[in-house]
């Protein structure tokens, strides 16, 4: 049976890993290549590199780092951030990325998912969605969680899958950075709506949060987190052992 | 002059990680579509992502299919990866019926026909290998080691060739071998140290072992 994946996310700006708490107050952590190698050796099942660079120089630095990482780390690599066109897919896939995650780019141009899926295959297109509760509904937020788009999230995700998104990252703004567990209610709604892999993001504070996630929602395929891994609050090797003890299929290295 | 490993470039997919993974195990791998270079290969990798029909057409139109058959008959170890493995079979039923290279007997059919309908397609993620045979390609692999899969179609009716499978409510063909032709449905270049150990084993295979 397919194991449940544990995915550290590395936010990269100007060649360095940073992590925001509630998307603000970025803190410097480490070298992306060194961190990626470390995580791969610890048993991370996949890595997400998220490019939060704004400048052209920073973007070049990001693709250089991506290339170096992909030549040293042999687990699946997903890249997101600044993906607005099919050319952006091409740019990062050539540097060794396996999957490309779209978020604001798909909100600006929903056709992007369809176009990319036709060229690179559904398995290559990840739809990442930042979701917050507004007036009793799940609402899609854009620009790193700053702008309320007014779009209802579950319908948005369904349309994304219909257009060819092969995987969904659900990032709950409501639980992000709070470290009191994943947003099980929001994730449950997404799992009921689609039959592609669902990655939970936002809210993990300890090992038990991952155990609860996978026990409560068998439809969730992976758990994604950043700072708790970067700062060693959760060690991936230990997390995997605890998952296995709890009867959750996990890949041990 | 011989080249340790040639990765066949026939215009499908990105070969960066595959080439890098051979560097990581200290092997020189050249990405090539040049017949003269391919004839110098001690070992050949047939990669592939995307659709079967398109890839099979590219192999035939470029003359690569005939060249691969020539190298196969010369006893050169050949390994297909992912779609590259599927292309080794007689035929595929991906959007119609299409002829493959026919190096290994069997068909390629949608996973949806095989597994529990509630399961997600593609079969994507890390799954545990179960060895069906002791084959030199898997000499460093232990029962239950996980490797990374991404595929919606699977090789069937090829029991004699299966050297490992995995479980996804039904057995899914994971690795195959017939003489000097081998294939992995999973991605060894994305399967961490286990994957690298399979590439290393492939590079250590000698003709008389097969």
Which pLDDT band holds residue A23 (cuts at 50, 70, 90)? Answer: very low
Q: Is A88 a catalytic residue?
A: no
A158-170 pLDDT per residue, tens: 999 999 999 999 9
Tokens 């700072």 locate to: A227
Subunit contact B126:A1, Cβ cutoff 8 A: no
Contact A96 B168 (CB under 8 A): no
- Counting the structural domains of chain B, the total is 1
Query: Could you report the per-residue pLDDT of A231-241, keeping only the tens digit for each?
Result: 888 999 999 99
Question: Which of B121, B125, B50 is CA-nearest to residue B82?
Answer: B50
Q: Tell me how close the Cα of A129 comes to any Cα of chain B, in angstroms.
A: 20
Distance from CA of A184 to the nearest CA of B (A): 20
pLDDT per residue over A86-127, tens digit each? Answer: 999 999 998 999 999 999 999 999 999 999 998 888 999 999
Q: Is residue A132's pLDDT more than 80?
A: yes
Considering the four listed CATH numbers 3.30.1370.60, 3.20.20.70, 3.40.47.10, 3.40.50.720, the one that applies to the domain covering A5-245 is 3.20.20.70
Catalytic residues of B: 82, 187, 189
- Hey, is the C-beta of A70 within 8 angstroms of any chain B C-beta? yes
pLDDT tens-digit map of B48-103: 888 899 999 999 999 999 999 999 999 999 999 999 999 999 999 999 999 999 99
The mean predicted confidence, pLDDT, of chain A is: 92
Annotate B132-150 with DSSP letters as a single string: SS--GGGTTPPTT-EEEEE
Residue A24 has a pLDDT of: 42
Cα(first)–Cα(last) distance of chain B, in Å? 24
Is the complex ipTM more than 0.95? no
Structural domain spans, chain A:
5-245
Residues of chain B with pLDDT under 70: none
pLDDT at A54 exceeding the cut of 80: no
**Mean pLDDT, chain B, integer:** 95
Q: How confident is the model at residue A25 (pLDDT cuts 50, 70, 90)?
A: very low
CATH number, domain of B82, equals: 3.40.50.880
Of B120, B126, B196, the CB nearest to A197: B120
Tell me the whole-structure pTM to 2 decimals: 0.94
Supply the pLDDT for residue B173.
98
Query: Could you list the residue range(s) of the whole structural domain that residue B17 is in?
Result: 5-209
Asked if B120's CB is within 8 angstroms of A74's CB, the reply is no
Q: What's residue A19's pLDDT?
A: 64
């Amino acid at each position: 049976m397919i194991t449940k994946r544990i995915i550290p996310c590395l936010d990269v700006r100007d060649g360095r890993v940073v992590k925001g708490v509630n998307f603000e107050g970025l803190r410097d952590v480490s070298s992306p290549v060194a961190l990626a190698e470390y995580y791969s050796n610890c048993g991370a099942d996949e890595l997400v590199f998220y490019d939060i660079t704004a400048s052209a120089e920073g973007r070049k630095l990001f693709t250089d780092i991506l290339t170096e990482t992909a030549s040293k780390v042999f687990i699946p690599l997903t890249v997101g951030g600044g993906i607005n066109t099919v050319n952006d897919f091409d740019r990062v896939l050539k540097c060794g990325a396996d999957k490309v995650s779209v978020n604001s780019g798909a909100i600006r141009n929903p056709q992007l998912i369809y176009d990319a899926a036709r060229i690179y295959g559904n398995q290559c297109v990840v739809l990442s969605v930042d979701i917050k509760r507004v007036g009793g509904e799940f609402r899609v937020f854009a620009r790193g969680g700053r702008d309320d788009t007014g779009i209802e999230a579950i319908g948005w995700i369904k349309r994304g899958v219909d257009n060819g998104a092969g995987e969904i990252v659900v990032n709950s703004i409501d639980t992000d950075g709070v470290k009191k567990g994943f947003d099980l209610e929001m994730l449950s709604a997404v799992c009921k709506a689609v039959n592609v892999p669902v990655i939970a993001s936002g809210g993990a504070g300890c090992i038990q949060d991952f155990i609860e996630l996978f026990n409560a929602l068998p439809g969730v395929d992976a758990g994604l987190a950043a700072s708790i891994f970067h700062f060693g609050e959760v060690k991936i090797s230990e997390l995997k052992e605890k998952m296995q003890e709890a009867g959750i299929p996990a890949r041990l290295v | 002059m011989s080249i340790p490993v040639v990765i066949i470039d026939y215009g499908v997919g990105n070969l960066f990680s595959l080439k890098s993974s051979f560097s990581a195990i200290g092997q020189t791998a050249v990405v090539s579509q040049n017949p003269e270079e391919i004839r110098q290969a001690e070992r050949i990798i047939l990669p592939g992502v995307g659709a079967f029909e398109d890839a099979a057409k590219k192999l035939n139109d470029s003359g690569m299919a005939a060249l691969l058959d020539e190298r196969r008959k010369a006893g050169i170890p050949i390994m297909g990866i992912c779609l590259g493995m599927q292309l080794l079979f007689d035929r595929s039923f991906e959007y119609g019926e299409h002829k493959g290279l026919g190096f290994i007997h069997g068909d390629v059919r949608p996973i949806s026909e095989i597994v529990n309908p509630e399961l997600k397609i593609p079969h994507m993620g890390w799954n545990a290998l179960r060895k069906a045979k002791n084959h030199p390609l898997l000499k460093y692999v232990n029962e239950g080691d996980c490797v990374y899969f991404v595929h919606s179609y699977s090789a069937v009716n090829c029991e004699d060739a299966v050297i490992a499978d995995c479980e996804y409510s039904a057995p899914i063909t994971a690795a195959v071998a017939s003489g000097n032709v081998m294939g992995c449905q999973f991605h060894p270049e994305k399967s961490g140290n286990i994957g690298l150990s399979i590439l290393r084993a492939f590079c250590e295979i000698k003709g008389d072992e097969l």
